[in-house]
Every structure is written in C-alpha cells, then in structure tokens.
Structure 1
Amino acid sequence: MRILTIIPARYASTRFPGKPLVDIGGKPMIIRVVERALAVCPDVIVATDDERIFSTVTERGYRAVKTSPEHQSGTERCLEAYQLLEEPADVLINLQGDEPFIADEQIRLLISAFDDPSVDLATLAQPFPSTATNEELANPNAVKLVRSTSTGYALYFSRSVIPYLRSVEGPWAKEHTFLKHIGLYAFRTHVLPTIQSLPASPLEESERLEQLRWLEAGLRIRVMLSDQESIGIDTPEDLKRLPL
C-alpha cells in the first residue's frame, strides 16, 4: 500500500498569520511537521499558496507544490496538490501544518485504520484528561467529537461541548470521557473524486469544520483513538504550552 502524505499550509491564517513559519525550537513549524511525517512515510509534500512557505521547504531539500489561494479548506488544497503531482497512491494522508508534535505512533495508528478494507476515510481523536476544566472543554479551537462505540465511526464533530451533560453541575470531564479531534485525516484515493465533488454543507458552514460536509453527504469517518497528547498550534497563545 503506497501512502502519500500532503501537508497543507497557508500563510494568511485568520487567528495566527504566518503560523507555518513561526520558530519552534530553532526550526520553522512547517519543517518540524515535515520531519515528523518523514519519520513514518517516505513520500511527503507540502502544499501551499505562499512563496515564503514554498521557499522555506524547498531550500531545505524537502518537496513542495504551489496551489491556488482560493481553497476554503486544507483538504481542498491537498486534493489539488495530489492532482498536480500525478503520483499514484492508495492512501492520501492530510497532515495539518500546525501539528509540529504529532507522534510517529499517531501517524501509524491512523494508517492502521486501513487494515480494515471497508474503511475509506479515517481520522484521530484523543480523550480530554479527567482534570480538564469546563472552560477548556468549551474552547472552540479544540474540536470535540462523538463516535459510535460499536463501529468506531464518527457521529458528529463540533466546536461546542458534545455530549451536553444535562444534570452535571461540577467539572464535566470527571463524569464523562470527552474526545478531542486531532487534525489528521487519511483517505483511500478512490474516494477523492467524491469528496472533491461535494458542495459546502449547512453544518460545515455553521461550525466551520470541513469534515461535516463529508458526514452530511453520508460518508463514514473511522475514528482511531490515541492515548498520546497532540499539541496543535491554533493561536499565538498555544506557543506557551509547547514542550521545549
């Protein structure tokens, strides 16, 4: 099974402009993500519409492609890059460019979802710690999800806290295991034309979460559970939490 990893990266982030090039321990964040991916997958490409990001990647000997600035999501950028590359693959991984501490084991866990031939689309989640405060659960930048305990497929993703604990007044995380989405997707390449053909959906536009477009269209997303913490960088404040 040939696996191709594409890392979408844009400079003009609303919450954190220039985020892919922020210095983390002496390296641009996008380079850290590339190196993490290469530890597991030999075929890794950055997809960007920005010359600064493109140059940062290629000057260090890594691969990058220039894509349109009009994309509304990272997956749209990955799909264009895949078409431009014209390299056959069985599985395409979309690794977000703001996951500089993604673990090798997490990438392997995602790939293992495809040991089941019925899985076409997969992602990762991790449990919030039982010490998480209600404020931490409610952070809209930490996307929550619920999954079927019998099939492992996602039921819904939200920026709100799901499920809602109606009769609990204290810290919710002590009463229920909430799941946090990790920004990593993988697709069998035969489903990419279907994904590319889907129009934006009402739930997607409400939550600003691209994966809701797929759920609304009836696609199933297998959720693999990781016991490792993943520190995504959404805002400048997130840099204060880095394990450096």
Structure 2
Amino acid sequence: MEKDIVFKDAQRPAYDFKFNKEVATVFDDMVVRSVPYYEEMQRMIAELTKDFAVKGTNVYDLGCSTGTTMINLDKILEKDIHFVGIDNSDEMLIKCESNLKEAGVKRKVAYENQDLNCDIELNNPSVVIFCLTLQFLRPSNREKILKKICDSLPENGAVILIEKILTEHSICNRLFIEHYYQFKKRNGYNETEIAKKRESLENVLVPYQLSENEALLKDCGFRFTEVFFKWYNFTGVIAIK
C-alpha cells in the first residue's frame, strides 16, 4: 500500500480534488488514515448487505473506488449474487479490478464507468451501496438518483449510505471538525496536508445534515431509515424500501 503524500507539497497550487491516477495509487492508505473506523464501517456494510441481498440479484457499489467494499462482500455473500461496481474514474476502476483479482474474487463482477450525476440504469438490484459517494454528487442530482434507485429496488430492498455530514448546530459542527482534524494528525497528516485537502474538497464534497439525508431518502420512497454508525461528523444510514 503506497503512502498518501498527495498534499504534502506546501508549494503545490490549489486545485479541485479529483479521483485521478495519483489518488487511485494511494487511495487505500488515504481512506484508512482519513476516515475514522473505516474498517469497522466496511464490516458493518458487509453484514447489512448480507441481511438484505437476495440470491440471483445484483449488489451495486456506487463509487466503488479501489474495490474494498466488494472484496469484503465477497467473503460472506452467496456466490449467485453478482456485483456491479460503478465509478467515474478509469484509474479507480483499473485499480478496483486488479485488487479484486488479487483478492481471489471469482464471482461475476461488472465494472462500469458512469457519472452518477447523469442518469444510470440499475438491473435487478437488491442492495445499493454509497460508501462516501453521495456527498460528491451535485446536490441538485441527489434526489433524482435516489428516486431512480428506490424505483428499481424490490420490496425490502436497501440502500446503505455512509456520509460525512454537517451537524444540526454550528457549535458542535466546529468542535466535531476539530476532533476530526486531530484524528488525521494522529494518523500522520500535518497541518499543511489537512489544510490543502480541505481547500481541494471545498467545491467538490458538499455534505448534508443527517436530517436532510434522512428526509431525502424518505421523500424518494423509502419506508424508513435507521442510523447504524455515528462518529462525530461521519454517519452510516440504512434505508429500506
């Protein structure tokens, strides 16, 4: 696993964050050091997916990045459940396919380059996963894709959503973000790296409040939502049709 030094250079000009080859190469290190309890999140995603995935259907990983979620799912799901990994980065999909092959994944997996801001087609899904993905979609497109997913799912189909969020109150929002930056420092990032990545993500990652995400899911047709993970400004939510 290559070490993430993408934002190490203090002289590098500011730019909008992109999931390009540079990021794909170090993404596995980046996400573990940047996302609290990432491995536990992945375990919970796999367990909940097993609860709702149906034999003969597809599990969709939207924003599949380097394939960690599908590798974990492969260990516990029935082999006649197929995977569809969707990402808008060719570099991420190349890394994803390579990682799944290295992990010995034998089941049917489709790798699709699609922009989730545009219309997508879902074929026979039972579970759809957004692991730190919905937050990167333009706000104006989120309702459209969630409505499309809900309409495509069978009864008791599920969406599993991991998101970075805003709190309901500004005092807690400031405190939670500060504690998050301390987490990143404990994992070896310095002040420059934290500041430059924050600037890079400013116009790319647009978080919602938890209540806004829950309301959006319900407005799109899901019967109910439930929080299954919470750490400061990170939350996991499952929505059931």
| TM-score relative to the length of structure 2 | 0.32
| TM-score relative to the length of structure 1 | 0.31
Q: Relative to total residues, which structure has the larger helix share, 1 or 2?
A: 2
